[in-house]
A and B are shown apart, each in its own frame.
Chain A
Amino acid sequence: MVGSGESVRVLIVEDNPADALLIRTFLAKNQRELFACRSVDKLQTALDCIASDVPDVLLLDLSLPDSTGITGCERIHCACPTIPIVVLTGLDDENVALEALQRGAQDYLVKDQISSGVLVRSLRYAIERQRVETALQQAHDLLEERVAERTEELSRTNEVLKQAIRDRERAEEFARARHEELAHLSRLNTLGEMASSLAHELNQPLTAIVAYTHSCLRRMSDDDWEEEAVRDEIELEMQKAADQAKRGAAIIQRLRRLVTKRDSERVPFCMNESIREVTELVAAEMRTNGVELVLELDESLPTVAADRVQIEQVIVNLVRNAIAAMSEDGGELRIRSARDTQENIEVQVIDSGPGADAKTLSRVFEPFFSTKDEGLGLGLSISRSIVESHHGKFSVAPNLGRGLTFRFTLPIRTETPEVSSPLAGFSRGNAS
């Protein structure tokens, strides 16, 4: 803009005509640029001019009829921040000059020290500095705008992502619910398959109870009550009958746990206890199939936080699978529990059956794949998905001798649930 051949438009705000004339004269003397000057003697007039036509630079006297001091500089800067302002002052007062610079002026000149060169250079520098400042401001504004745009864009993307996450969570929740439903149906199906052996299992204590009771009734009717031996015998048999009733109740309790349908809950429990419970449940099936049970349980195992019902379902499936594999000639069922090096609990179910070829082994985890005549072929695929939903691993491998080893791992959760410690403290406090 400056020195481009066009004239530099200067607005002189000066109420002293002599000073205004002097400035015009100085500017006219300059050879390199052409200055087009316009003079006004009031601040208000200057503001009106700016409103319609912005000059390239403004020279401002600080003692005007309608404005004295630094406020004039301030008002012009507010009205149009891009106008470079050079302040004219009669006093050589550093404080006034500094304040003017802080309020938006680019430079200041002391009236009786002005020369043509000083004035022109001051105007030129003021214009140039203002241009750079304005460019900087524009760049800054542009940057701000861009940042705002990108922020807006990001928050839109974020919203889309959040929606996607919500959709995914809903889908996962749905899948989890379906998985639980399927696991429950599979449990019911397993129980259906076990029904006859369970009925037999429950019938045994009932038979014993009826027999003990009849024995007692006959003794009470036929024998001599006066004899202590008779009373002792009756007492003993009543006690045995009660024990058998408890045995029946324990079977029912184990059964009920497997049939329950409720939300998955992962609380710490003892894996060995679950293994023992399950082997009790399938004891009849093992007996009738001539299967001998060997337990090799690591009694120092920590508890594991998992869905106990589902994990017991996995053990039931593996154990019944092993029993079915040995149903022809009987055999040995070995169940091991141990802690591996990587903070997992590992359970192995080892049978001594005929085993399986590589092709069958590669398919055992497929849903609806079964080598048995009865059953849905869901047990192993459900078992694997249960273990994997607990971040564990599930695998099968042939033994060196006969049979197969199924194994699964569950990570040990060391953190105990929050509720246990305050409750423990509470009960201690109460007891004292």
Chain B
Amino acid sequence: MKGQPAVFVVDDDESVRDAVRCMLEAAGFRVETYCSGRDFLDRYDRSRQGCLLLDVQMPEIDGIELQRRLNEEGIRLPIIMLTAHGSIPMAVNAVRMGAFDFIEKPFNDDTLIKRIQDASAQHVQLDIDPVERKLIRERLATLSDREREVMEKLVAGKWVKIIASELGTSPNTVKNQRTRILEKMEADSVPDLVRMVMISQMSGD
């Protein structure tokens, strides 16, 4: 579905691109990958929302340079820089220039997911639709206490197995609850659910 928020991964290493895509897709994210800064500038649909994962060290147009060009174009996608040990000063510089954060390679999935959620939250805050927020809050009110509990853990990026053991139930029960929550919330993935929860928490009443 076009127009849906996605995570855009820009990295010149093919296996890193593929692996990060697998990891995020397993967590329910929509992922699009680009092999260079040039590739992203050429193919990115400027109307798309989401979060940009950007490798700092790339040939030709590196992460910092791409960030500068996007700033110039007025594109305000939240950016998370992917760094290696040696490139942390570059990443700090990127944050000064407006990147949301940086994360050091290699990274765990929950760490990355948390950063993506935080980055999206910050982004969402900038242009929040009051009508949508009202709808979401109404849907949230239909959840049972248990469903709300499960939802909070899902939103934190936890695996089903972990949630099940924390709540003392079986993974299948959690999976069923997850399906019901997505239905009630009219969300098509966990990341979508995350976005809704964030919107619901924004002030503006």
Contacts and interface: CB of A to CB of B under 8 A. Distances in A.
Given A203-B84, A211-B20, A212-B22, A218 B109 contact: yes
B57 A200 contact: yes
Interface string B33-58: 00000000000000000000000011
B109 A215 contact: yes
A214 B26 CA distance: 9
A244 B162 contact: no
Contacts of B171: 221-222
Residues of B in contact with A, size category:
20 to 34
Residues of A in contact with B, size category:
35 or more
B59 A287 contact: yes
Given A215-B109, A222-B160, A209 B19 contact: yes
A240 B19 contact: yes
Contacts of B57: 200, 288
Interface of B: 12-13, 15-16, 18-20, 22-23, 25-27, 57-60, 62, 82, 84-87, 105-109, 159-162, 171, 175
A230 to B, nearest CB: 10
A177 to B, nearest CB: 35
Contact of A240 (B15, B25, B60, B87): B15
B105 A221 contact: no
A244 B23 CA distance: 15
A221 B106 contact: no
Contact of B25 (A199, A215, A243): A215
A199 B162 CA distance: 33
Interface of A: 196, 199-200, 203-212, 214-224, 237, 240-241, 243-244, 247, 287-290, 330
In the A-B complex, the 10 residue pairs with the smallest Cβ-Cβ separation, listed nearest first, are A211-B19, A221-B161, A214-B109, A208-B19, A210-B106, A221-B159, A196-B86, A207-B106, A215-B22, A207-B105
Contact of A205 (B15, B59, B107, B161): B15
Given A196-B86, A199-B84, A210-B108, A204 B15 contact: yes
Nearest to A237: B22
Best-surrounded residue of B13, B19, B109, B175 (most CB of chain A within 10 A): B19
B106 A290 contact: no
B60 A290 contact: yes
